[in-house]
Structure 1
Amino acid sequence: MKILVVSPVPTDPVDAGNRARIATLTQELVRGGHTVHFACLPLETCDEGAMRARFGADRLHMLPTPPAAGVAARMAGLLRRAGRALKIDAAYRWPLDAWYDEACTAALRKLQAAHRFDAVFVEYVFLSKAFDAFERDVIRVLDTHDRFGLRHRHYLDAGMKPQWFSTTLSEEERGFRRADYVLAIQPTEARDFAARLAGAATRVLQVGHLIDLGEPVKSADRPAVVFVGSGNPLNVQGARYFIGRVLPLVRQQRPNAELLLVGGVCTAIPDAPGVVKLGFVPDLRDAFSAAGVFVNPVLAGTGVNIKLLDAMAAGMPIVSTTSGARGLDEHGGSAFLMVEDDDAASFAREVLRLFDAENERTRLAHRARDTALAWNAAQLSALEAALDKQQHFPSSLAESPIPAEALAP
C-alpha cells in the first residue's frame, strides 16, 4: 500500500516524544511492507537531511510555509492575550482550522495526483482539514496524539500556563468525523473518543506509541536515577519537583546518589548538587544503562508518556508518579512502581529500596519488558486494522462496532 503521512511535526531530530511517536509509526508502516511518503508542514525546525535519509529524497515533501501573520491576525493575538490575562476561557480556545493554511490543500492535491496514495495519515486534529485534498476512496487516518478538546483547562487546573492548541469539544469532534479512523494513543482516550462518536461512521482504534524495541539493557548497579524529557513545561515541572523535593530525601540516605537528566529538559534546569545533565543522547539505551532506576516524576499531562514506554521496553526498573503513568496506570505495581503525585517521601523511599534490592530491580525489569512487548503487539494489530481496505468505506464502517481488542490496554 502507498501511504502519505502529513504532519506539522518533523521526525528528525528525534528529540521529543511526539517526534519519536511519528518516527516509530512511519518505521512500522515501512516494516509492514508499505511505501511511505512524508509531507511536512514546516511549523518547527527540522533536520531535512536526516528526514531524506529516513524516507528517501523522493518520498520527503516539504509543504508550503504558512504566511506570516497579517495585521488582523496580530490584533486578534493581542486580544487573545488580553483575554487570557483576564482569565476568559474562550481566549484559550482556537477554531479547529485556525492553524491550517489552504495552500497546504493545493500542495497535497498535487502530490495525490502524482502518486495516487491508498491511505493518508494526518497528525493532529488541528491539521484534519488536510483530508479535503483526497478522494473518498483513500483511507483517512487521524493520529490524534492527545486530546485537544478543552486541553487548556488541564494546564490551568495544574497551575500552569496552557501550551499549544486547545479547542472546543464540538470542534474536536468535527475534526474526528473527517477521518475514517481516529487513532487514540491510550485506552482512556480511546473510550472517550468512541463514546463521543457513537453512531458516526468514523471508527476509533487505540494505537499507542509504537516502541522501537531493540535489546533490553542491564541497569547499572549504582545509586543513580535517570529522567528523560523534552523542554516541555510539564517535564520541566516534574524535574524541578524531583530535584527540589525527592532527590534531597534520597541523598540524605545515599549522599552519592545522582539524577541523570537527558533531553531538552536540561536547558531549563539550573545546576544543583547530584544533578548530571547529559543533554541529547542519540541512543536512550546508553542513558538507561548508566543508571540503576528510571524515574518519571511528572505531575500533570495528557496522552501517554512515551519515555515511560521506552524505559519499559529497555527493561528498566521504574518509579513513576500517577500522572506520569497516565494511560499505563493499570500496570503500576506490576511492570513499574507507582506513587501518588505529591508524595515525595514515598517516591524517595521506593527509589532507595530499589537501590538496595537487586532481585526486585530484576523482577521489575522483566515485567516492564514483557508488558512493553505485549503493548507493542496490540498497537500493531490495531494499526493493521486501520489499513484493511475491505473495512474502510463509510457505508460498512457505520455498521461496524469498535472492536474490544482495539480499546484494550
Structure 2
Amino acid sequence: MSRPTVLVIAPMPAFPTSAGNRRRLVTTCESLARGGFAVDLAYFAHEDQIYRRFGQHPPTDASAMARHFQRTFRIEPKAAIPLKTRARHFRIDDWCPDELVDFVAWYCAAYPETRAVLVNYVFLSRCLVAVPPGRLTLIDTHDRFADRQAQYRPFRAEPNFFYTDAAGEAAGLDRADVVLAIQAEEAAHFAAITRAHIHLLPPHFPARRPFRAPERLARIGFIGHGNDPNLFSIGRFAEAWSADWRPGRPILVIAGEICAGLGARPRPGIELAGYVDRIEDFYDGVDLVVAPMLMGSGLKMKVAEALSFGVPVIGTSIGFEGFSPIAPAHRCAGVDEVKAQVLTLVEDARGLAALTEACANLFASYNSGTQAAEDALLTLLRAHIGDLIPERGDAVPPAAIDGHDPVTLALPGGALTCVAGLGTAEPDDARHGILIATERAAPPGTAPYSPERRRWFVQAEQGPSRGIASGLAGAEVALGPEWVRGRRLPPALRAAVAVEIAGVQPDWEAEARLVGAGPRRFVVALALPSHLVVGRHPGAAFLIEPDAALELTLGAITPLGLAQGLPFLSATRTDLAPVPASLTLDGGEAPTNGGLLLILHDDLVGRVRLPAAGSSPGLHP
C-alpha cells in the first residue's frame, strides 16, 4: 500500500540541525514518517539569504535533505526579506512573497495525490490559499509572534525577526485546519484567537545517552544558534560568570554558531568552541549544561537535547517553559541565580546526583507526553485523511542522488572549479578549495524548483582546464561571505577571481565620477545602496582594467547632499535604494582610461563604471 504524502514547507533547511527551529522541523517530519507518511520538503531559502546578509555562509546540507525526504524542493526569494519595519509591526504576509504561493500552486497541480500541506511559521500561512479544497492544511507555529517585539525592550534592542499583532497572527492561523503548538501555554493562547483546531505537539527527543551524575563540575556548557534570545541570554551569563572567575571553578564552554556573535576578546573562565561537527562531542565533553534564558517563546530545544544526552541542566523558568519543572534549579529567576546554583554544586557529588535524578525524571515525564501527543496527532490525521495510512512503519527509502563531474578553469596562480549538484553544509571543499559563489537558480535542464546548484571553488594550485569555457560569465550568484571578507588566497589570485566575478549578473550597477586623487588613493562620487552608506560594512573592492586587476581598500563613505542624483543604473533587489555618496579607495592610482570598479559586500555584487579621464557620467535630473 502506497504511503500518502505530506508536503512540508519551511523557511529553514532541515540539515544540519544546528538550530532549534531545524530540530523542531526534523522531529515533526520524523513523527509523520513514523505514522506512515512520506514527506516532501520544500525549503523557502529565506534563512540562506539572511545568513549571507550577516556575513556568514548559510549551513545548508541539501545532500542530507535529499537522503532523508521523499522529494526536496528549493524556492528562491526574488527580493530581500525585510528584517525591519517602520510600522508598529509586520503585517502577517510581509515575509511570504508571491513566489512561495506560486510554488504551492505548482506543486499541488504536479502532485495531486498529496493529502496534506504543513507550513512552518504563521508568517508563511499565505501560501496555504493556493492549496486546493479537500487537502488538510496545517501550521506548525514554533513560536508566538503577536507583540513579540516587547521582549526586546528590557535589552534596549530592536528585533530583527518577525513580529506582528494579535489580529494578524489570528488571521494567519485561521488559514489552517490544524495548528500545532509547541508548548501548553502557547496552545491555550492560540485556542483563544483562532477557529482552527489546536493540537499540542511538543517535540519528541529519543534518549541518546543514559543520565550520568558527575562527581564534580569541571566544564559546564551552552550550545546554540546565533539568534537574539541566545545572544542576549548567554552573553549576560558569560559576563557574570567571568566577572569573578578564578582557577578551580568550572570552565564555561560555549559552542555553536552563536560564538561568531560573542566577539573574540578572551574572558576568564570562558572557552569559545565554535561550530561543532558532531553534537555528541560537545555533550560528552561537559559535565552540566546551563540554560540561562532571559527571553524567547516556544520551547527551548537546547534543554530537551541536553536531557536526551543524559546531561543535567540548570536554567531559568523561561529556559524550562513547556517542561513543567519542579526542581528549583529549573526555575531560576535570572543569570545570577543560575550562576549561584552552579557554584553550590561544584564539589557537591550528592547534590549533583540529586539534580541528575531530577533531570532524568523530568525528561521521562516530558517524553511520555510527547509520545502521547504524537499518537494523538496521527489519529487526528487519519480521521481527516482516511484509513489509507498503514500503522507505524519505516521511513521512506532515500532517493537516489546523481553525481556530476567538476569542471575547472586555470587562473593565474590557481584554478577555478565549478561543481554542480546537491551541496553539503561545508563552505569549502578539501578537493576544490574555497567556496566563492553559489548560483541562485538551479542549473539548466533540472526539474522545477530543484535544490541542485552550481558552486564555484578556488584553490591556489595550478591545474589544467577541463570543460569550462566561460567561468561565471552571465551567472546570477550569491557570494561566499567568508571569501569576500577573508584574505586566504594570494593577492594575485584574488584579483584573478575578481575578473571572473566581474562577468556575473550584478545585484546593482552605478556610474561614478572622479572627485579627488592622491598618491595611491582616489575618491569617487556615485550612488551607493543605502545600507552601504550607514555604518561599517566589511567587503572588498577591485579595480578591473583591460590589462590588469588590482584589489583596493575600501575607505571612508560619506553621504552627499546633492540636489541632483548620480546615475544608479539598476538594482535587482527592492531594498537597494540608491544614496549619493563619496567613496575613498586606497591602494591604487585613479584610472586614466576608465575601467570597472567591482564592489563586493557579503552576498552582493556591485559593478561601477569609471569614465575615462576628461569625461564624466551624466546626471539624472
For the criterion TM > 0.5, the same-fold answer is yes
SS in 1 for 2:319: helix
Separation in structure 1 between the aligned mates of residue 278 and residue 133 of structure 2, nearest angstrom:
41
Of all paired residues, the percent bearing the same amino acid is 28
SS in 2 for 1:380: helix
Per-residue CA deviations over 1:218-250 (Å, capped at 9, x if unaligned) read 36544211111111121112122222113545x
Give the direction of change, closer, same or farther, for the CA distance of 1:362–1:217 in structure 2 (3 Å limit). Answer: closer
Residues 180-259 of structure 1: matches in 2 within 5 Å? Answer: 180-197=177-194, 200=195, 202-216=196-210, 218=212, 220-221=214-215, 222-248=217-243, 251-252=245-246, 255-259=248-252
Residues 130-169 of structure 1: matches in 2 within 5 Å? Answer: 130-169=127-166
Return 5+ residue gaps in structure 1 as ranges.
84-90, 393-409
Per-residue CA deviations over 1:5-64 (Å, capped at 9, x if unaligned) read 0111111221111111101211221122211000111112222122112214xx00112x
Q: Does the aligned pair in 1 maintain the 2:237–2:292 contact within 8 Å? A: yes
Residues 10-409 of structure 1: matches in 2 within 5 Å? Answer: 10-45=13-48, 46-56=60-70, 59-63=71-75, 65-68=76-79, 83=86, 91-115=87-111, 116-197=113-194, 200=195, 202-216=196-210, 218=212, 220-221=214-215, 222-248=217-243, 251-252=245-246, 255-269=248-262, 270=264, 271-328=266-323, 330-333=324-327, 337-341=330-334, 344=336, 346-355=337-346, 356-357=348-349, 358-390=352-384
Q: Does the aligned pair in 2 maintain the 1:15–1:230 contact within 8 Å? A: yes
Give the direction of change, closer, same or farther, for the CA distance of 1:212–1:42 in structure 2 (3 Å limit). Answer: farther
Separation in structure 2 between the aligned mates of residue 382 and residue 146 of structure 1, nearest angstrom:
21
SS in 2 for 1:61: strand
Return 5+ residue gaps in structure 2 as ranges.
49-59, 387-621
Give the direction of change, closer, same or farther, for the CA distance of 1:280–1:31 in structure 2 (3 Å limit). Answer: farther
Q: Does the aligned pair in 2 maintain the 1:235–1:298 contact within 8 Å? A: yes
Separation in structure 1 between the aligned mates of residue 339 and residue 104 of structure 2, nearest angstrom:
52
SS in 1 for 2:46: coil
Give the direction of change, closer, same or farther, for the CA distance of 1:282–1:218 in structure 2 (3 Å limit). Answer: farther
Give the structure with the larger helix fraction: 1
Q: Does the aligned pair in 2 maintain the 1:181–1:205 contact within 8 Å? A: yes
Structure 1 counterpart of 2:403: none
TM-score normalized by structure 2?
Answer: 0.55
Alignment RMSD (CA, Å): 2.4
Give the direction of change, closer, same or farther, for the CA distance of 1:268–1:315 in structure 2 (3 Å limit). Answer: same
SS in 1 for 2:17: coil
Q: Does the aligned pair in 2 maintain the 1:4–1:39 contact within 8 Å? A: yes
Kindly provide the amino acid, as one letter, of the partner of residue 112 in structure 1.
C
Kindly provide the amino acid, as one letter, of the partner of residue 267 in structure 1.
A
Separation in structure 2 between the aligned mates of residue 154 and residue 337 of structure 1, nearest angstrom:
21
Higher mean C-alpha displacement, 358-367 vs 308-317: 358-367
Give the direction of change, closer, same or farther, for the CA distance of 1:180–1:22 in structure 2 (3 Å limit). Answer: same
Q: Does the aligned pair in 1 maintain the 2:18–2:225 contact within 8 Å? A: yes
Q: Does the aligned pair in 2 maintain the 1:92–1:166 contact within 8 Å? A: no
Residue 92 of structure 1 and its aligned partner are, at CA, apart by 4.1
Q: Does the aligned pair in 2 maintain the 1:312–1:371 contact within 8 Å? A: no
Q: Does the aligned pair in 2 maintain the 1:124–1:143 contact within 8 Å? A: yes
Give 1 or 2 for the bigger CA radius of gyration.
Answer: 2
Q: Higher relative contact order at CA 8 Å, sep ≥6: structure 1 or structure 2? A: 1
Residue 316 of structure 1 and its aligned partner are, at CA, apart by 2.0
Separation in structure 2 between the aligned mates of residue 123 and residue 108 of structure 1, nearest angstrom:
14
Kindly provide the amino acid, as one letter, of the partner of residue 5 in structure 1.
V
Structure 1 counterpart of 2:515: none
TM-score normalized by structure 1?
Answer: 0.82
Kindly provide the amino acid, as one letter, of the partner of residue 26 in structure 2.
A
Separation in structure 1 between the aligned mates of residue 373 and residue 157 of structure 2, nearest angstrom:
32
Q: Does the aligned pair in 2 maintain the 1:354–1:360 contact within 8 Å? A: no
Residue 213 of structure 1 and its aligned partner are, at CA, apart by 3.4
